[in-house]
């Protein structure tokens, strides 16, 4: 028996309001603020959340006196809920009748030097499905908020409950001020940087101290929240960064030098999407990108 029919027989019908309630609570952090945002009473919102959790058979939030925190199941469900809600709203939007864009999110560097080729060839082969590239300074590049149908993520997957596939691998690069003495070299090793300050993008970056051995880690860390601030700090010689070849391709920056890191493991570039996908063309996009990128990829051939 289909799921919707079983729910109706049980007197339980899941509706878009359940998804809206869940998303509002997840974003606001409290029932009180979420209820005010949705303009409904707190008891009604609490009952809606309880019905959703009862239907799913899991707790979506850990409750405390003043704040609600998403459980692991809640984090996974948030991606599905946002994708479903966004797709439903798009379906009913009269301004979006016609070609159905496929939104590809990224936090930085997109597909490196493959970016323009992928966008151009996709447009030629799929004129009825425009491919929109969207940058979001977020660890999931907008997937959790339903802003993108598929996203490009580098490194290991940060959450469960999403589908992903490795497209290719990129070599790690050191990024540092052109005035730094190390910039005169042709390549660097991780230990060469241990005495320097590490400039780390803590919002969407992939670099952590785990790259170094405990005995040779950088002694100082300067945190930034986006790629633009990261590049500015590098150019000002406030420290060094670690990135991939894609950043060197996409972000040439006055006063910043990129050098290969000889002993750093490669970074997998993944395409990730909600399960089920919010756009039917997502699997085709994964195969399309892999076909274009792999023949010219010369980075190491194993994941981190």
> Tokens in use for 74?
């809640």
Q: Mind listing the pLDDT tens digit for each residue in 6-18?
A: 434 344 578 889 9
pLDDT at position 261 over 90: yes
d(CA 268, CA 282) in angstroms, rounded, equals 19
Helix (H) or strand (E) holding 179: none
Q: Mind listing the pLDDT tens digit for each residue in 63-83?
A: 875 678 899 888 888 888 887
d(CA 102, CA 140) in angstroms, rounded, equals 17
pLDDT at 284: 95
pLDDT at position 157 over 80: yes
Average pLDDT over residues 240-251: 96
pLDDT at 295: 57
d(CA 257, CA 183) in angstroms, rounded, equals 6
* DSSP-based helix, strand, coil % in the chain, nearest 5: 40, 20, 40
SS3 106: strand
How close are the terminal C-alpha atoms of the chain, in Å? 44
pLDDT at 3: 38
d(CA 23, CA 25) in angstroms, rounded, equals 6
Q: Which residues does 67 contact at the CB level (< 8 Å), separation at least 6?
A: 29, 30
Angle, helices 31-38/16-28, rounded to nearest 10 degrees: 130
Q: Mind listing the pLDDT tens digit for each residue in 19-50?
A: 999 989 988 989 999 999 999 999 999 999 99
Angle at 195 between CA 192 and CA 200, to 5 degrees: 90
pLDDT at 97: 61
Q: List the one residue out of 272, 248, 250 whose CA is nearest residue 260.
A: 248
- What domains can you pick out in the chain, each with its CATH number? 3-70 (1.10.10.10), 94-169+267-296 (3.40.190.10), 172-260 (3.40.190.10)
d(CA 175, CA 256) in angstroms, rounded, equals 7
Q: Which residues does 56 contact at the CB level (< 8 Å), separation at least 6?
A: 73, 77
User: What is the band of 303 on the pLDDT scale with cuts at 50, 70, 90?
Assistant: very low
Q: Mind listing the pLDDT tens digit for each residue in 121-152?
A: 999 999 999 999 999 998 899 998 888 999 99
């Amino acid at each position: 028996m289909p799921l919707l029919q079983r729910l109706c027989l049980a007197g339980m019908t899941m509706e878009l309001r359940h998804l809206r309630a869940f998303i509002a609570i997840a974003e606001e952090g409290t029932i009180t603020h979420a209820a005010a945002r949705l303009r409904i009473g707190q008891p009604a919102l609490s009952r809606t959340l309880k019905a959703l959790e009862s239907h799913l058979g899991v707790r979506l939030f850990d409750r405390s006196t003043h704040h609600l925190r998403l459980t692991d199941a809640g984090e996974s469900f948030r991606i599905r809920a946002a994708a479903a809600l966004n797709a439903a709203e798009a379906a009913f939007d009269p301004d979006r009748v016609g070609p159905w864009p496929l939104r590809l999110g990224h936090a930085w560097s997109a597909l490196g030097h493959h970016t323009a080729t992928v966008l151009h060839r996709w447009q030629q082969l799929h004129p009825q499905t425009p491919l929109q590239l969207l940058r979001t300074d977020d660890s999931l590049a907008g997937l959790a908020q339903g802003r993108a149908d598929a996203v490009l993520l580098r490194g290991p997957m940060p959450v469960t409950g999403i589908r992903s596939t490795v497209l290719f691998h990129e070599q790690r690069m050191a990024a540092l001020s052109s005035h730094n003495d190390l910039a005169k070299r042709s390549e660097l090793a991780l230990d060469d940087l241990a005495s320097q300050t590490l400039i780390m993008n803590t919002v969407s970056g992939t670099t952590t101290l785990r790259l170094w051995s405990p005995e040779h880690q950088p002694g100082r860390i300067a945190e930034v929240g986006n790629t633009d601030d990261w590049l500015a700090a590098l150019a000002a010689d406030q420290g060094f960064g670690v990135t991939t070849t894609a950043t060197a391709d996409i972000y040439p920056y006055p006063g910043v030098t990129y050098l290969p890191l000889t002993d750093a493991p490669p970074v997998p570039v993944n395409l990730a999407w909600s399960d089920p996908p919010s756009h039917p063309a997502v699997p085709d996009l994964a195969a399309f990108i892999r076909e274009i990128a792999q023949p010219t990829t010369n980075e190491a051939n194993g994941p981190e």
